[in-house]
Structure 1
Amino acid sequence: MSEAPYSREPRPYAFDPVSEPEYFHGVLSRRFVAFLLDAVIVSVPIAMAGLVIFVFGFLTLGLGWFLFSLVGPTSVVWALIYAGLTLGGRQSATLGMRAMGVEMRQLDGAPMTPTLAVVSVVLFWVATSVFTPLVAIVALFNGRKRLLHDFIIGTVVVNNEARILELSRYR
């Protein structure tokens, strides 16, 4: 394991899958489960808003149902805010990623920024819409388990330090 993968010194690649395999052990499956957890976390407030609008529509004799037209745009804004605050936050991980013990970093080991986090999410959804199977298949053929949008913006998902310590105890 390298001495300081998260140091502030710029390096072209902070995470080497050959010399530091513990950073990538189980990352793909954990990333998938984290995505599902995050989808639930983002969807619950939207579903609750939909329920409130539905009831409000009955109370206003149908006029409140026009608020359903705001659910789509608000959902996009909410998802981007969630990504910017969590993935672009101090831990460089969404709540689902934290639960699964992974985090997203820039290739040089630097933490994510809120802007880069939002760009990552937007590129993920665009790439998924256009290249559906390629987004996931690409990760099977590279050592760092990077998805298509990770290559574009120069990021990598790795196990966090707590998970690496846990993995090293079993070796």
Structure 2
Amino acid sequence: MAQAHDNDAPRAQAFDPLSQPELFDGLRTKRIFAFFIDTIAIILLTCVAAVVIFFVGIFTLGLGWLAYAFLWQGVALLYTAFTLGGPASATPGMRAMGLEMRLWHGGRMYPLLAAVHLVLFWISVSVITPFVLLVSLFSDRKRLLHDIILGTLVINTPANGPLA
């Protein structure tokens, strides 16, 4: 007979906005500023990568220059996967604004989910452009469409530091 494990038990949703409103105060504004900070960081990293690709292209007789076609997408994907999917569950912009991203049950992000989150963000922004922020007005946890689809949420980092 199989034993029930802790992993098999249904998990309650973590971070209730009614009992923990401080986790959701000012979230939309902080998230927008975090986006701009991360965009600047990605632009700077893309410039550095462009210089590296230029020299790689010289040594590979132009073959390396093919990497320019997907340069910014690749930099953004790696940046997000290794920062949002890292131990802090936050990009540098999110950390600067005191935010972190969690799974619906309170678990931490991981690199593959962070990369999928970015791709869904790109798709949602491409399809419903500025209206992507409107979804958060109707969500009790101020989540965006791609957050809801993936079961993630952004919260303010608690005053006693990042959650374990």
1:46 and 1:71 in contact (8 A); partners too: no
TM-score by length of 2: 0.81
**Which residue pairs with 2:112 in the alignment?**
115
What amino acid is the match of 1:46?
Answer: T
Looking at structure 2, the residues matched to 28 and 11 of structure 1 have their Cα atoms a distance apart, in angstroms, of 26
Change in 2 beyond 3 A, CA 1:130/1:22: same
Work out whether 1:97 is the aligned partner of 2:94. yes
For the aligned residues, what is the CA RMSD?
2.5
Instruction: Give 3-state SS (helix, strand or coil) of 1:39's partner.
Output: helix
Q: Which runs of 5+ in 1 are unaligned?
A: 1-7, 166-171
Instruction: Give 3-state SS (helix, strand or coil) of 1:108's partner.
Output: coil
TM-score by length of 1: 0.77
Q: For residues 123-170 of structure 1, what are the alpha-carbon distances to aligned partners after superposition, in whole Å with 9 as ceiling and x for unaligned? A: 0001100111331110112220000100100000000123789xxxxx
How many percent identity over aligned positions?
Answer: 48
**Which residue pairs with 1:127 in the alignment?**
124
Alignment of 1:9-158 (within 5 A): 11-50=11-50, 69-158=66-155
1:124 and 1:149 in contact (8 A); partners too: yes
Aligned length: 151
Q: Which runs of 5+ in 2 are unaligned?
A: 1-6
Change in 2 beyond 3 A, CA 1:47/1:20: same
1:34 and 1:100 in contact (8 A); partners too: yes
